[in-house]
């Protein structure tokens, strides 16, 4: 028994290492044949490995919070937009290395939608990065100051999906804009991106402060891109008003 334990440990088979004795006893009681026993044991090992891989990807994605499509209400969107969201939920855009640009005023669910897509991608063993545009700018500047742009670029390319949230709340100077353009260009045909922004694409010049640079960045992002206008009533404002109404309806003690 100790030899089996050591072999499973050396081969990095944690489920078998911790459970083989119990599984052997169960097989003997239920008179399970060798082939079925081995198949069951390896299947459970694979299941555990997949669960750990998913947890690692979710942790590494650095989502600000977790939300799934089960909790994401799309009924307040137009029927056309609902159909497009259902199509994106299949994650075919990642397999096809396509981008998504989510445009709309604050509170309409852009960030939540991007997290839903990113979370489902993790469940499908995709490597995902979620980063706020402000933090992205900070990381670019740090990489520039430490002369680590090439290393940062290689890391940036490895993700199946990169989500850049809230593009439009911070401006990029020319040098950072050039680095951003290089990073985005490096992902063309290599991986997908989701960009959320409160600004329509024609106003992105306010972010990059250079019309030529803006046109080049838009060209890279718009290539094989799904552009969704989610503008409408703020879901957060609506939820706050409903919450306030519920408080007002409470009986006074």
Q: DSSP string spanning 20-38? A: HHHHHHHHHHTT--HHHHH
The pLDDT of residue 49 is above 60: yes
Question: Can you tell me the distance from the alpha carbon of 115 to that of 69, in angstroms, rounded to the nearest whole number?
Answer: 9
Give domain limits for the chain.
2-61, 79-238
Q: What is the mean pLDDT of the chain?
A: 87
CATH superfamily of 79-238: P-loop containing nucleotide triphosphate hydrolases (3.40.50.300)
Q: How many CA atoms lie within 13 A of 116 on its CB side?
A: 17
Question: For residue 214, with 0-12 CB atoms within 10 Å meaning exposed, 13-18 middle and 19 or more buried, which class applies?
Answer: buried
Helical H runs in 62-132? Answer: 79-89, 92-95, 110-123
Of 216, 227, 228, the closest CA to residue 188 belongs to 216
Distance in angstroms (rounded) separating the CA atoms of residues 189 and 217 = 15
**Percent of the chain topping pLDDT 70:** 91
Closest CA to 133 of 106, 102, 94, 163: 163
Closest CA to 162 of 81, 69, 100, 222: 100
- Cα torsion for 227, 61, 72, 101, to the nearest 10°? -10
Strand order in the sheet with 99-103: 128-132, 161-167, 192-197, 99-103, 225-229
| pLDDT over 60 at 143, yes or no | yes
3-class state of residue 3 by DSSP: helix
Full-model pTM? 0.84
Question: Nearest to residue 178, comparing CAs of 153, 213, 134, 221?
Answer: 213
Quote the pLDDT of residue 252.
Answer: 52
- pLDDT per residue over 1-43, tens digit each? 688 888 888 888 888 888 888 888 888 899 999 999 899 999 9
What integer pLDDT is reported at residue 174 of this predicted model?
A: 82
Q: In which band, very low, low, confident or very high, does the pLDDT at 120 lie, cut at 50, 70 and 90? A: very high
pLDDT band at 247 (very low <50, low <70, confident <90, very high): very low
Residue 221 is predicted with a pLDDT of 82
For the chain, helix, strand, coil in percent to 5 are: 60, 10, 30
Alpha carbon distance 94, 59 (integer Å): 20
Quick one: pLDDT at residue 40?
92
**Residue matched to tokens 């309409």:** 108
């Amino acid at each position: 028994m100790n030899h089996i334990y050591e072999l499973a440990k050396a081969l990095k088979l944690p489920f078998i290492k911790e459970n083989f004795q119990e599984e052997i006893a169960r097989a003997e009681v239920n008179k399970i044949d060798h082939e079925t026993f081995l198949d069951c044991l390896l299947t459970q090992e694979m299941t555990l490995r997949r669960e750990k891989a998913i947890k690692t990807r979710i942790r590494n994605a650095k989502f600000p919070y977790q939300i799934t499509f089960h909790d994401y209400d799309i009924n307040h969107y137009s029927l056309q937009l609902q159909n497009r969201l259902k199509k994106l939920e299949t994650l075919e855009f990642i397999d096809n290395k396509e981008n998504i640009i989510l445009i709309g005023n604050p509170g309409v669910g852009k960030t939540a939608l991007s997290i839903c897509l990113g979370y489902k991608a993790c469940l499908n063993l995709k490597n995902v990065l979620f980063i706020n545009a402000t933090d992205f700018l900070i990381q670019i500047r740090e990489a520039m100051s430490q002369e680590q742009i090439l290393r940062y670029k290689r890391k940036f390319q490895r993700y199946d999906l990169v989500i850049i949230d809230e593009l439009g709340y911070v401006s990029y100077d020319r040098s950072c804009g050039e680095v951003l353009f290089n990073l985005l260009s490096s992902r063309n045909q290599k991986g997908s991106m989701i960009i959320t922004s409160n600004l329509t694409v024609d106003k992105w010049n306010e972010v990059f402060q250079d019309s030529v640079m803006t046109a080049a960045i838009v060209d890279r992002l718009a290539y094989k891109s799904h552009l969704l206008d989610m503008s409408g009533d703020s879901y957060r404002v609506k939820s706050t008003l409903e919450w306030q109404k519920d408080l007002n309806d409470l009986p006074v003690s």
